[in-house]
Amino acid sequence: MSETPDSAVRTYIDDHRAAFLDDLMEWLRIPSVSAQPEHAADVCHSADWLAAKLSETGFPTVEVWPTDGAPAVFAEWPSEDAQAPTVLVYGHHDVQPAAREDGWAGDPFEPVIREGRLYARGAADDKGQVYFHTLGVRAHLAATGRSAPAVHLKLLIEGEEESGSPHFRALVEKHADRLAADTVIISDTGMWSADTPTVCTGMRGLAECEITLHGPEQDIHSGSFGGAVPNPATAAARLVAALHDEHARVAIPGFYDGVTALTDRERELFAELPFEEAQWLRTAKSAATHGEAGHTTLERIWARPTAEVNGIGGGYQGPGSKTIIPSSAMVKLSFRLVAGQDPDHIEEAVRAWAADRLPAGIRHEVTFGAATRPCLTPLDHPALQSVVRAMGRAFEQPVRFTREGGSGPAADLQEVLGAPVLFLGISIPSDGWHAPNEKVELDLLLKGVETAAYLWGDLGENWRHAD
């Protein structure tokens, strides 16, 4: 049994929920839209507001860290127990743009509570999920009678996530010593559904490239020359067609090198989720599923690497026709990567594959952008076990496992800090991230508070550094 009595936590939360919500609503009134220059001052105000609240919460160290863009907030609250693990919580205080005319029922920056839901831009993504940590750590202290958390607790709340985190990696590298942690907890994701609490155990990585193919020095007449010289648009298409074999597996030699295969246990856990294909297809706005043979849809989007064409272009694309062999064509490809894959190796493999497959007379260039590494926490990792137990106590039901198909700054934290990454989020798909009428379910928000309250105690108790 845990040192933290569940009833004490719940009582504390009940007593403080009104003030907690008032504070959160005050924060949501600050339109901290990082993508819009006219809100730059609001993003700074948001950082200062959060810093003040974290000091009020009890964090002895709170700092606003400037970047070349919007500021981040760092806070630290050491445990009195030297053997306690160090946990870094990640979130962000900036929000997506929002305007009433996009379809909001009211002002997106004037929060309202209706039928158990708190509506406002940032309610779920990500201010609500950052802010539950303030009441969470207070409830942990109150219920255990501690004056400092059972873990060394650090928070890093960035201000540019909704703008692609352009300065985040540099920030983490600069402050790597201050940010050092045994594990990173990302509070910027969600769960399967309100009825199915889940923990995410990994994100896919991302490598992106553009391949440009050059044929004739200029567009040439398809009557005079058609059938006798290589066509770069055809070459581009044949390259893309060669990305996948007939089983929809990626056919680039070496692409799957090192891939951490799903265990039978992980596949069973995915299969336990109440996945409904018709519902999922509505979300994907697609008419059918299509993917790697031998894998379910969830395995395909979460745990298998992919190659997708994001764009293709060449020759005449206007109305009517133009009988040319175009002088060039290009494809933009992105590769989602899973644990065990190395972006550098992928780049080499793609370059060799492309060079190998083009006909004589077609010149080509391959340009890779910055890659994001995949991250994956093993199911038996002690910190993951603590999250699952804490969440299970809060939700009073079994916690299942998901992964995230996208890629994000979590990977930078994992890579720079060398710490495994976990995901603690209570948002659900209907919360409308980036959409009008974004909301958070108050019940789930408070379950997030409760999970955090149990988590620090569980981690401190079960994952100690050697004496």
Residue of 321, 380, 396, 467 that binds a copy of itself (CB under 8 A): 321
Options 116, 166, 226, 254; binder of a copy of itself; rule CB under 8 A: 226
Among 159, 326, 409, 432, binds a copy of itself (CB under 8 A): 326
Interaction between residue 406 and a copy of itself (CB under 8 A): yes
Stretch that binds a copy of itself, among 101-109, 312-320, 376-384, 437-445 (CB under 8 A): 312-320
| Of residues 234 and 385, the one with the C-beta less far from a copy of itself | 234
* Of 98, 130, 224, 83, nearest in space to 449 by CA: 130
Q: Which among 36-44, 112-120, 400-408, 443-451 is the span making contact with a copy of itself, rule CB under 8 A?
A: 400-408
- In this structure, the chain runs to a length of 467
147 counts as binding a copy of itself under rule CB under 8 A: no
Interface region with a copy of itself, contact rule CB under 8 A, candidates 166-174, 239-247, 266-274, 446-454:
239-247
Task: List C-alpha distances in Å: 228 to 156, 223, 361, 362, 363.
Answer: 60, 10, 11, 13, 17
Query: Strand 328-337 and strand 205-214: pairing?
Result: antiparallel
Cβ 134 vs Cβ 53: under 8 Å: yes
Nearer to a copy of itself (CB atom), residue 9 or residue 331: 331
Asked whether position 361 contacts a copy of itself by CB under 8 A, the answer is yes
Q: Are strands 375-376 and 198-203 parallel, antiparallel or unpaired?
A: antiparallel
Is 106 a residue that touches a copy of itself (CB under 8 A)? no
What's the rounded Cα separation, in Å, for the pair 238 and 278? 32
Q: Does residue 369 interact with a copy of itself by CB under 8 A?
A: yes
Alpha-helical regions (H) of 209-276: 222-225, 232-241, 264-272
Q: What is the number of other CB atoms lying within 10 angstroms of the CB of residue 39? A: 20
Choose which of 310, 352, 397, 443 interacts with a copy of itself (CB under 8 A). Answer: 310
Helix (H), strand (E), coil (C) string for 195-213? CECEEEEEECEEEEEEEEE
Does 458 help bind a copy of itself (rule: CB under 8 A)?
no
Pairing of strands 205-214, 117-119: unpaired
Q: Pick the closest to residue 28 from 130, 138, 141 (CA basis).
A: 130
The yes or no reply on residue 228 touching a copy of itself (CB under 8 A) is: yes
Q: Does 405 bind a copy of itself (CB under 8 A)?
A: yes
Number of residues that bind a copy of itself (CB under 8 A): 81
Out of 2, 36, 234, 462, the residue judged to bind a copy of itself by CB under 8 A? 234
* Dihedral over Cα of 290, 295, 297, 300: its sign: negative
Asked whether position 240 contacts a copy of itself by CB under 8 A, the answer is: yes
Residues 122-141 binding a copy of itself (CB under 8 A) are none
- Minimum CB distance to a copy of itself smaller for 194 or for 312: 312
Using rule CB under 8 A, residue 314 touches a copy of itself? yes
How big is the chain by its Cα radius of gyration, in Å?
25
Residue list 186-215, contact with a copy of itself (CB under 8 A) = 204, 206, 208, 210, 215
